[in-house]
Structure 1
């Protein structure tokens, strides 16, 4: 079985994340969407909330599952028996960071490939951070996030 890890903070999960996930699921037998539990990032949603939102939106994808990890991604990938890590790219600005991370991961675990995938057009200028900022001001972000995430954001940010 060819297993891939799709890591991220997913704070919150967006339609862009789901697009990358669905495409990864076509390439691999199993894709584990792995929430990085890094309190230093000061996430907006708790790890439990992020996992619940993720589970709700991944449930209908047969070869996708979810997990939470702490520590180094390559260690988690090895524990899961993964052959690859997949990361989404929105713009050229993402490339430099992802390139550096993939080189370090290759140094630490040369048997695990990193695959960089461009997001679908229409999602390339959005990020979880931007979506939260816009939602805070009461703007409609429903085009960029699944309905459950939109509801969670509206609950946190009642219209002004």
Structure 2
């Protein structure tokens, strides 16, 4: 009889630690089946088993890995003698717990074979409970150490009681604000957070640390110094804005530079991205000239365009919805209606990939 190697757990949600163990297991066994289950003994459950199985899609899994729920596995009526249960071990506390796990699974399911994999020290404190606690405490700066950007999206949407949380990016004069205004007119539940307005609230801090300096020049040439100086205060303003969002909203956080490599704002807001661009840099420059904001021209070169945004999304495991605003206002409204219609679907096909408006 062919042996079946299963890696079971609640995985609520799946973390980088779980992925680490799965990758190690897939190097050893020909096929590993992740089995997501509901555990009534665990009180702090955020997602049911079928949802946790779907959340695994937020990761790039080994080719010889499959994800099922326990209910799906039970329907196959597999002889327990064929099963080998894979378990991850982070330290002594896990070893003590695993004795109970073996006794329970042997008694209730007749499983007699177990294979234990030690996690690397880097994953010693990575767990589902830790990432849930960080989300509960609204510690946005900690989330990216535990789970993928799209898992972060789901956690924040859960804790904020909102439908969708999007990071809106794109160069200056690309039509982001116009799009946000149209979306708000279409549905009052589409809420725009314009982080450019944070600068007004941070002006006293900026004047204190950079008296008489050109802040645009500072942002272009000394972005690390600027980030270290105002970053914590900026993040608190973002947290405060999110805390005051009403339930069931679609939240669109506009951070034009959010995918710059030294920013990576998806670490704090999750991996659902809307890119707004207007075809090419020449059109962008012409629009910026009409807006009479020459100081923003260097950022058209600095902020990733559509092609680079798609590349980043593929590399980092983000979902990106792109819109080309090199069109009439009527056509832009049509694209906004199409995007708004996608908000109505809870899945949004978010787990990897690029969609064009």
TM-score norm. by structure 1 comes to: 0.81
For 1:95-134, list aligned pairs within 5 A: 95-103=95-103, 105=105, 108-110=110-112, 113-134=113-134
Structure 1 unaligned blocks of 5 or more:
none
Q: Distance in 2 between matches of 1:4 and 1:78?
A: 15
Stretch deviating more after TM superposition (19-28 or 117-126):
117-126
Structure 2 unaligned blocks of 5 or more:
161-238, 244-357
For 1:59-74, list aligned pairs within 5 A: 60-70=61-71
Q: Partner residue of 2:78?
A: 79
TM-score norm. by structure 2 comes to: 0.39
Q: Once the 2 structures are TM-superposed, how far is the Cα of residue 54 of structure 1 from its aligned partner?
A: 1.3
1:149 and 2:148 equivalent?
no
Q: Partner residue of 1:55?
A: 57
2:122 is paired with a residue whose SS is coil
Q: Which structure has greater helix proportion?
A: 2
**Pair member with larger Rg:** 2
Q: Distance in 2 between matches of 1:38 and 1:22?
A: 24
Higher relative contact order (CA 8 A, sep 6+): 1
- Structure 1 moving runs of 4+ over 4 Å: 75-78, 80-83, 103-107
Q: Once the 2 structures are TM-superposed, how far is the Cα of residue 103 of structure 1 from its aligned partner?
A: 5.0
1:135 and 2:135 equivalent?
yes
1:122 is paired with a residue whose SS is helix
Q: Partner residue of 1:6?
A: 7
Q: Does the 8 Å CA contact 1:3/1:29 hold for their aligned counterparts?
A: no
Q: Partner residue of 1:35?
A: 36
Q: Does the 8 Å CA contact 1:6/1:33 hold for their aligned counterparts?
A: yes
Q: Once the 2 structures are TM-superposed, how far is the Cα of residue 62 of structure 1 from its aligned partner?
A: 0.6
Stretch deviating more after TM superposition (31-40 or 18-27):
31-40
Q: Distance in 2 between matches of 1:9 and 1:53?
A: 12
Q: Does the 8 Å CA contact 2:33/2:68 hold for their aligned counterparts?
A: yes
Number of aligned pairs? 154
Q: Does the 8 Å CA contact 2:15/2:147 hold for their aligned counterparts?
A: yes
